[in-house]
Amino acid sequence: MIQSRGFNINTQNLKQEYDYIIVGQGLAGSCLALELREKDKTVMVFNDPTGNSSSRVAGGLINPITGRKMVLTWRANQLFPFLKYFYRNAEKKLGIMFFHETPIYRPFISVKEQNEWYGKSVEANFKPFVKEVVTKSEKEQVVADPFGGLLLNGSGYLDTITFLEAVNNWLKTSDMLVNEKFDFDSLNFINGAAVYKNIKTNKVVFCNGVEITRTNYFEEVKFRPVKGEVLKISINPALNKVYNRGVFIMPRDGNHTVGSNYNHKDLSWEKTENGREEIETKLQSLLLKEYKVVGHKAGVRPSVSDRRPVLGKSSSNEQIIIFNGLGTKGVSLAPFFANQLANNLVSGTEIEKEVNVNRFY
Ligand SMILES: Cc1cc2nc3c(=O)[nH]c(=O)nc-3n(C[C@H](O)[C@H](O)[C@H](O)COP(=O)(O)OP(=O)(O)OC[C@H]3O[C@@H](n4cnc5c(N)ncnc54)[C@H](O)[C@@H]3O)c2cc1C
């Protein structure tokens, strides 16, 4: 019998043993579970079904060129080929489609910008992501595009809810899921093993999004959560590609997802009138069609101060691991870095400095 944190643990009662416990089944936990199973490791995932999940709010957009200045997404040349391979593979394994390749059309704001993109579109970094530099307004005027726009390649979206539910079903039917809140007070460390209730494991990986900030773990990490809201709108007839300038308008499931905004102050998960107004104002300066708002959601992105993912082990306990910091681009980042973390856990390969949690220690 071992006394630990006020619990009496009879080690003979430890009924189950897994290589890894994963806490949280958003994009981070789902991608990591898939990667660890690919490597034949056993996992048990705890997911709080009533908990907030940024992944369930996300638009799911996969966008290689972003921001007002239209810059290449960080590490796009590595992330994008990998995410396509990853989600296509996951679709085969889970027997359902959730990864959709769709062009994104991004109107230019000036002739100067149009000219700049003639040059940039042939640069090695940008070339794989530029389908066409469009010099005239589209025939069917969907958005304001007096100077034409940039049509992107390699873009699309993940139907995040379908993906998360498919992973949830797969975990459930393979006895790898406990659909309940993980109680951090019941986690103990005994003779080199982590023990949670009657489960023994080598390591516990926290993939719990912004909820990590409510625990005593990884307090050195400079988390900087960012709230965001999305609208669901109907447009008749539905659009056939994603439009993006200030906001994105993404055709999805017969409707369209529009987003998003960024709020560092209000970190509640409540949708707000201000949020809706902010998104609609930008929408109206882009979209020329009639629309109707049919849905509205809010969530909090798990971001950190340097806007890079956070992977690796705790400074005080090698058995506690983090996979967090997916910020505004979880769909694009999660596959590549879940793979990097799984390689580190299973084979001891290095975690890159830029994403290693030890940059905060
Ligand atoms: C409005 C909005 C729009 C966005 N749009 C996009 C987009 O278009 N493209 C894109 O790439 N990204 C987008 N994002 C960002 C994306 O949602 C995040 O990067 C990503 O979802 C983070 O995933 P995660 O798994 O780290 O966290 P989460 O999805 O928050 O998952 C954490 C999980 O842990 C569970 N959990 C927490 N505590 C416990 C516990 N104690 N026990 C058990 N389970 C627990 C929660 O229930 C949840 O399921 C958007 C985000 C927002 C808010």
| Alpha-carbon distance values, 344 to 21, 161, 165, 323, 347 (Å) | 16, 28, 27, 12, 6
Tokens 């959730």 — which residue?
98
- 2-56+161-220+307-360: CATH topology is FAD/NAD(P)-binding domain (3.50.50)
Q: Give yes or no for residue 9 having a pLDDT over 70.
A: no
Q: What is the average pLDDT across 253-273? A: 95
Cβ of 47 closer than 6 Å to ligand 1, yes or no, is yes
Q: What is the average pLDDT across 13-19? A: 77
CB atoms within 10 A of CB 47: 25
pLDDT tens, residue by residue, 53-88: 999 999 999 999 998 888 999 999 999 999 999 999
pLDDT tens, residue by residue, 208-249: 999 999 999 999 999 999 999 999 999 999 999 999 999 999
Atom index in ligand 1 nearest the CA of residue 184 equals: 41
Residue 324 confidence (pLDDT): 98
Cβ of 330 closer than 6 Å to ligand 1, yes or no, is yes
Tokens 């200030």 — which residue?
246
Averaged pLDDT score across all residues of the chain: 93
Q: Give yes or no for residue 6 having a pLDDT over 70.
A: no
Separation CA 71–CA 73 (nearest Å): 6
Residue 139 confidence (pLDDT): 87
The answer to whether the 2-56+161-220+307-360 and 85-158+224-301 domains have the same CATH topology is no
For the chain, give every domain's residue range: 2-56+161-220+307-360, 85-158+224-301
Residue 253 confidence (pLDDT): 83
* 1-10 residues labelled b (16+ CB within 10 A) or e (exposed): eeeeeeeebe
pLDDT tens, residue by residue, 294-331: 999 999 999 999 999 999 999 999 999 999 999 999 99
Q: Give yes or no for residue 337 having a pLDDT over 80.
A: yes
pLDDT tens, residue by residue, 92-146: 999 999 999 999 999 999 999 999 998 999 999 999 999 999 999 998 889 999 9
Residue 221 confidence (pLDDT): 98
Cβ of 259 closer than 6 Å to ligand 1, yes or no, is yes
| 85-158+224-301 CATH, one of 3.30.9.10, 4.10.93.10, 1.10.3720.10, 3.40.50.620 | 3.30.9.10
Cβ of 301 closer than 6 Å to ligand 1, yes or no, is yes
What's the pTM value of the predicted model, to 2 decimals? 0.95
